[in-house]
Structure 1
Amino acid sequence: MKNQSNVSQKGQSELSSGYLDSSGVQGDIPTTFSNLTNLQTVLASDNKLTGEIPGFIGSWLKLRTL
C-alpha cells in the first residue's frame, strides 16, 4: 500500500479513527492494520484499494463506520 504513515506501536493500539478519503492510497490493505483494534471509524473513499477485504477487520469490534 502506498502512502502508509509511520505510526508507533503505541499509536496503533490507541488509534480510533482513520480518515483517508481521496488520499491516493493504493493496493491491498496491509496485514499490519490488524493491530488497529480500537478503530471506530475508517473513511477511505476515492482511493485505489485492491484485493479482498481482509478477515482481520472482523476483529475490529469497536468499528462503527467503514
Structure 2
Amino acid sequence: MSITDKAKNKAEELAGKAKQAVGNATDNESLVAEGVAQETAAHAKQAGEHVKDAGNDVRDAFK
C-alpha cells in the first residue's frame, strides 16, 4: 500500500468520524449515518490494501 493510498484512506476515515461527531452534536441522524458509511468504506479500502500487500509478500517469498 502506498503512502498516498494510506493517507487518502485515513483522511476519508477521519472525515467520516467528523461527520458522525457533528451529526451527534446537532442531532442529525442522517449525517451520523453518512459518517458511518464513509468510515466503513475507508476501512474496507484499507482491508483491501492489506490483502494486496499480503499477496505481494507471498509472491515475493517465492521468488
TM range (shorter): under 0.3
**Structure 1 or 2: more helix by fraction:** 2
- Normalization by structure 1: what TM-score? 0.22
**Structure 1 or 2: more strand by fraction:** 1
- Normalization by structure 2: what TM-score? 0.23
Q: Which has the larger radius of gyration?
A: 2
